[in-house]
Amino acid sequence: MASAAWEEARDERLKPTSPLRRLMARPELGAVGGFVLVLLFFAVVAGDTGLFSALGIINFLEVSAQLGIIAVAAALLMIGGEFDLSVGSMIGFAGIVIAIPAVEWGWPLWMSILLAFAVALMVGWINGTIVMRTGLPSFIVTLGGLFILRGLTIGITRWLTGRTQIPGLREAAEGDWLAPLFSAKVGQGLMQWLGDAGWIAVRADGVPLASGIPMSIIWWLTLTALATWVLLRTRLGNWIFACGGDAQAARNVGVPVARVKTGLFMFTAVAATIFAAVQTLSVGSADVLRGQLKEFEAIIAAVIGGCLLTGGYGSAIGATFGALIFGTVQMGIFYTGVNTDWFKVFLGVMMLVAVLFNNYVRRKATEGR
């Protein structure tokens, strides 16, 4: 084929599309736009409250990061055409799987962390296998998982310890080789240097208030980059889109739908465990009620990020910006001193707007020229 001639012919027929129109076709546009609006809003309302100080920024990034870790996984699963409502309960469950062996039985912490990940892989596998074998909606199957895991978490913890909280993880983490992967702070030198230079606030002893970047933020950014790479540039990514777009069509051309979807369920459970490890180790305790409602927050973040509830469309970057909106608003409301009750109202409204917007974008993408 004369590819040069082709190139010309194509250019001729291609209507020059403005960069703006191209941008419109991206699923994450809504979330990025929303984030800019939120930033502008709080810059005006809360500009002088410390929200945008180094500490404030780290704070809202950390809140966003924790949600972002599970939102990215939830987004991949939604693009693959399924939901996982058991994510929140998995967070609580993973928390006690880390804490009980480490605190009550004297296991080294790294071993109980690895155990938690093994358990997560198994839970994800069970979720995926039930969904794929029975053909039941994942909504129902994982709703069952939500209650089963939460019940197990409370039941096992009370049965073994007589309490609902397990403190003492900070002591267990001392000297452990794996724990810093979840609880350390990086960039302390940079923060110190910024503090010494007088650009960020320091305590009386010269240590900056924001002493470093928490690992949760690193996990979040890494997972986002990884998920984006997989979605846009790999074979697996194409399979994920195909599974969510039309599982039957995908199966007919040889995509291993059951394996892809089961793998995605395992990934959400693993993401929940990363969340749990970060949270329990930074707080120093596990609590049976951790992670409640996180499954819905993750789905909301994914939807704000452009994922369609019907699957087959969405982006990991979008989910990350969805989580960022979450974190910014949550901390913004906190810093402005508004009653935090209003946060939930905002969330609901935000999600409705996002769904309406996504619906419109999808119509444009598939019908409009």
Partner 1 sequence: MADGVPLIQVDNVSKHFGTVIALAGVSMTVWAGEVHCLLGDNGAGKSTLIKILSGVHKPSEGRILIEGEEVHFNSPRDALDRGIATVYQDLAMIPLMSITRNFFMGREHVVTRGKGLFERLDVRKANRIAREEMAKIGIDVRDPSQAVGTLSGGERQCVAIARAVYFGAKVLILDEPTSALGVKQASVVLRYVAQARARNLGVIFITHNVHHAWAVGDTFTVLNRGRTLGTFAKEEISREQLLHMMAGGRELEELSAELAEFARGRNRTGGEGARPA
Does 14 engage in binding with partner 1 (CB under 8 A)? yes
Residues binding partner 1: number (CB under 8 A): 35
Q: Which residues pair with 202 in a beta bridge?
A: 208
Smallest gap from Cβ 273 to partner 1, in A, equals 22
Q: 229: Cβ–Cβ under 8 A, 6 or more apart, which residues?
A: none
Closer residue to partner 1 (CB): 257 or 271 = 257
For 306, other C-beta atoms within 10 Å of its C-beta total: 28
**Length of the chain in residues, anyone?**
369
Does 312 engage in binding with partner 1 (CB under 8 A)? yes
For 11, list phi and psi in degrees, rounded to 5: -60, -35
User: Cα–chain-centroid distance for residue 272?
Assistant: 9
For 165, list phi and psi in degrees, rounded to 5: -130, 140
Closer residue to partner 1 (CB): 16 or 198 = 16
Whether the Cβ atoms of residue 291 and residue 67 lie closer than 8 Å to each other: no
Closer residue to partner 1 (CB): 175 or 254 = 254
- Subset of residues 45 to 104 that bind partner 1, contact rule: CB under 8 A: none
Q: 315: Cβ–Cβ under 8 A, 6 or more apart, which residues?
A: 26, 27, 28, 75, 228, 231, 305, 306, 307
For 285, other C-beta atoms within 10 Å of its C-beta total: 17
Closer residue to partner 1 (CB): 41 or 229 = 229
Among 4, 13, 20, 205, binds partner 1 (CB under 8 A): 13
162 vs 172, 177, 193, 218, CA distance in Å? 20, 30, 47, 36
Among 164, 165, 188, 238, binds partner 1 (CB under 8 A): 238
Smallest gap from Cβ 14 to partner 1, in A, equals 5
Among 134, 222, 234, 336, binds partner 1 (CB under 8 A): 234
Among 44, 135, 252, 345, binds partner 1 (CB under 8 A): 252
Choose the stretch contacting partner 1; rule: CB under 8 A; options: 99-107, 196-204, 244-252, 276-284: 244-252
Closer residue to partner 1 (CB): 13 or 174 = 13
Residues near partner 1, by CB under 8 A: 1, 3, 6, 10, 13-15, 229, 233-235, 237-239, 241-242, 245-246, 248-255, 308, 312-313, 362, 365-369
